[in-house]
A = this chain, B = another copy of it.
Amino acid sequence: MPLADPPLVEARGLARRYGAVRALAGVDLTLRRGEVLLVLGPNGAGKSTLLRSLAGLLRPTAGSVAINGRMLTRDDPDARRPIGLLSHQSLLYDELTLLENLILAGTLYDLPDPPARARAALTAQGLEHRADDRPRSLSRGMQQRAAIARALLHDPALLLLDEPFTGLDAVAGDRLRELLREHCTEGRGMVIVTHHAAEAWELATRVGVLLQGRWAFESPRPPDMAQFHRVYQELARG
């Protein structure tokens, strides 16, 4: 591949064991700019583990990850800069207000004028009136929105979303879809993990199914979702 434009994500033979459990058993993934990969798979398939490895939070037992052609394995701060991760947990400090949490994040990412960015991000999630509350005192859906605000704050070129729609009400769900559609321009890429293909089907350019730490299915988005869903059911039950 021409070094001129390395792919956004280049993962080779990712494997991760937890004791006897093999969460990932050899996963390859190449994601180019402008692509959105939708990942499905049963509980325990390794989806979250995959995302955490791509984000460099987990050192895989085997395999390597390169973001924009830069290895994550060694401690290279700038290689992490383009990454935005929405994980199962909110990554927010319970004793800091939402605003303080986001300002801290902004500072860590060297954003210009963190307070302004923070407020903007909260407004985008309809949380401006809760800016001075603690995460703990929010309803679950609001917490999820706060977590989203944090993940998107530095508008990352590579966005990794682990079940982003959980806990969101209908309105917030549509708002997030809208936001992601805008976010996903030429230069950017996304990996979305979900249990309901419908939630993000329109956004996706590719679809993958993870089973026991391996790709059971990986292709450009099929034309018909209903049909794909049958295929997935097959795989999952199979």
Contact = CB atoms under 8 A, between A and B. Distances in A.
Given A44-B138, A167-B195, A171-B236, 10 more contacts: A42-B141, A42-B169, A43-B141, A43-B167, A43-B169, A43-B172, A44-B141, A48-B140, A163-B167, A170-B236
Contacts of A236: 169-171
Those 5 A-B pairs whose CB atoms lie nearest each other, nearest first:
A43-B141, A42-B169, A44-B139, A43-B169, A88-B140
Interface string A90-123: 0000000000000000000000000000000000
A166 B88 CA distance: 11
Contact of A137 (B18, B88, B145): B18
Interface residues of A, number: 28
Interface in A172-206: 172-173, 195
Contacts of A195: 141, 167-170, 173
Count of chain copies: 2
Contacts of A145: 43
12 contacts: A41-B169, A43-B140, A43-B167, A43-B172, A44-B142, A141-B195, A163-B167, A166-B167, A168-B195, A169-B195, A169-B236, A170-B233
Nearest to A23: B139
Given A44-B142, A48-B140, A166 B166 contact: yes
A170 B235 CA distance: 11
A237 interface: yes
A227 to B, nearest CB: 15
A232 interface: yes
A211 to B, nearest CB: 11
Contacts of A18: 137
A219 to B, nearest CB: 19
Nearest to A18: B137
A230 B162 CA distance: 29
Nearest to A47: B139
A172 B233 CA distance: 12
A168 B43 contact: yes
Contacts of A42: 141, 169-172
Contacts of A41: 169
A64 to B, nearest CB: 24
